[in-house]
Amino acid sequence: MNSKSHSKWTIPGFDAPKSAPSPLARFGWRPAFANQIDPDTEADLRPARVVGVHRNGLDVVGPDLATRIPPYRADEEDDETAATVGDWLLLDADATRAVRALDRQSLLKRRAPGTGRQVQLIAANVDTVFIVTSCNRDFNLARLERYLALVRSSGVLPVVVITKADLVDDTASYVKEARALLPNLSVEAVNALEPGVADMLRPWCGPGQTVAFMGSSGVGKSTLVNTLLGEAAVETKAAREDDDRGRHTTTARALHRLAHGGWLLDTPGMRELQMTDVEDGLDELYADIEELSAGCRFSDCAHDQEPGCAVTAALANGQLDAARVKRWKKLVAENRFNAMTLAERRAAEKGFGKMVREVQSIKKKR
Ligand SMILES: Nc1nc2c(ncn2[C@@H]2O[C@H](COP(=O)(O)OP(=O)(O)OP(=O)(O)O)[C@@H](O)[C@H]2O)c(=O)[nH]1
Ligand SMILES: [Mg+2]
Ligand SMILES: [Zn+2]
């Protein structure tokens, strides 16, 4: 975009200097959104960000704007086009309804729980995900890898936040294990109830930044949100209930605004995180294994009993960890299975029965 067309922009604050965030930038607005607006026909439309999704409407905010508008979906046939938390919409001049949605910078989604193949949208335009787990029962490398694959496949920065550090003698082993999952992964062990946690997590929560919290029920996502906000803005579980016990306390996703300009997205705990469309994340998480497997004698090697298998060789000489290779196989198989159409699954059941049975046995175990 050249500077001439820049001068046509009527979006408030678009040309504001970088040092002082513009009114829109405080809501997470970026040049990539501004660039999508046609200055000739859309200059009167009002950008607004979705901060809450309800059955009968969307809560949207923007500079001098906070209102509820009817639900919006660009394509009735396509679930992914339904407006979700974090989306940017262009509203009519009166801010009564959405005219269109702007292309997303990132989209977090999962396969909807149950047997259907629908996708469930988690959030859009998120910069960082705090993958929250706790030092007690919830801590599980396989689960962390699931979240990491999902987050990295969306091109979002993951940060692992291990809560309830105050309940164990030493957090070092948890931090070390989590850090080993992905190169350069940031991992913080915290007491989510301790106000000092805000300083540790502030680097990701600056003005205009959007952070989503994901993790099992009871790990302390809402507790962290309250501590960062400095007030009991959202309900948390009664103190005596432990991880994964009883019902979820948070039941809806909502964006909360920090006084200094960041946005926090609290989400309900997830019981099941089914992988779909996560190849990119898996390639990153298991880059070393994928690279090795390129050296297997057979291109369709299952890394099981095949002769000339580079993965089996690396397991034998201690270069690879057996538990991690097992997790890799499971996630790759699950992702592949979930990507199939019904017809492909039927064909697969005949032709590649083994893989399908493997996936089904994984599902039963969870
Ligand atoms: N001691 C201690 N307790 C914590 C910590 N973090 C959370 N808790 C407690 O754990 C319980 C669950 O916390 P929540 O914040 O409600 O958990 P959540 O992840 O939001 O759960 P859902 O909304 O059900 O998904 C609450 O009683 C918190 O007070 C921590 O770091 N230390
Ligand atoms: Mg909660
Ligand atoms: Zn192999």
Pocket test for ligand 1, best of 143, 234, 237, 244 (most atoms within 8 A of CB): 237
Q: How far is the CA of 215 from the centre of ligand 2 (A)?
A: 9
Rounded Cα distance between 11 and 34, Å, is 8
Question: For 266-286, what is the mean pLDDT?
Answer: 86
- Burial environment of residue 10 by CB neighbours within 10 A (0 to 12, 13 to 18, 19 or more): exposed
> With left for phi above 0 and alpha for psi between -120 and 50, is residue 60 left, alpha or beta?
beta
The per-residue pLDDT for 246 is 57
Question: What value does the mean pLDDT of the chain take?
Answer: 86
Lowest mean pLDDT among 121-135, 261-275, 293-307: 261-275
Q: Say if CB 109 and CB 121 are below 8 A apart.
A: yes
The mean pLDDT of 196-210, rounded to a whole number, is 93
The CATH number of the structural domain formed by 279-365 is: 1.10.40.50
- Interior/surface letters 39-56, b for 16+ CB within 10 angstroms, e for the rest: eeeeeebbbbbbbebeee
What digits encode the pLDDT tens for the residues 342-362?
667 677 666 656 666 666 666
Q: pLDDT digits over 215-249, tens only?
A: 999 999 999 999 999 988 888 877 555 554 556 78
Strands (E), 141-229: 157-163, 186-189, 210-214
Atom of ligand 1 nearest to the CA of 191: 31
pLDDT band at 118 (very low <50, low <70, confident <90, very high): confident
Strand partners, 131: 160, 214
What is the phi/psi pair of residue 132, to 5°? -100, 130
Whole-model pTM: value is: 0.85
Mutate to test the pocket of ligand 1, among 223, 227, 250 (most ligand atoms within 8 A of CB): 223
Give the CATH number of domain 107-266: 3.40.50.300
**CATH among 3.30.70, 3.90.550, 1.10.3470, 2.40.50 for 3-101:** 2.40.50
Cα–Cα distance for residue pair 318/160, rounded to 1 Å: 27
Nearest residue by C-alpha to atom 2 in ligand 1: 164
Q: Which residues line ligand 1 (CB under 6 A)?
A: 163-164, 166-167, 191-193, 217-223, 236-237, 239, 248-250, 268-269
Per the model's pLDDT, the better-predicted residue between 360 and 53 turns out to be 53
- Count Cβ atoms below 10 Å from residue 355 Cβ, excluding itself: 17
Query: Residues for the chain: how many in total?
Result: 366
- Domain ranges for the chain, please list them: 3-101, 107-266, 279-365
Q: Please give the distance, rounded to the nearest whole angstrom, from the Cα atom of residue 102 to the centre of ligand 3.
A: 43
Please tell me the distance between residue 62's alpha carbon and the centre of ligand 2 in angstroms. 25
Counting ligands in written order, the one closest to the CA of 305 is 3
Q: How far is ligand 3, taken at its centre, from the CA of residue 296, in Å?
A: 5
Orientation of helix 353-365 relative to helix 322-339, angle to 10° = 110
Buried b (16+ CB within 10 A) or exposed e, 245-260: eeeebbeebbbbebee
pLDDT tens-digit map of 3-27: 333 333 333 334 444 556 788 999 9
Burial (0-12, 13-18, 19+ Cβ within 10 Å), 132: buried
Identify whether the C-beta of residue 159 lies closer than 8 Å to the C-beta of residue 182: no
Instruction: Give the CA radius of gyration of the chain.
Output: 22
pLDDT at 242: 56
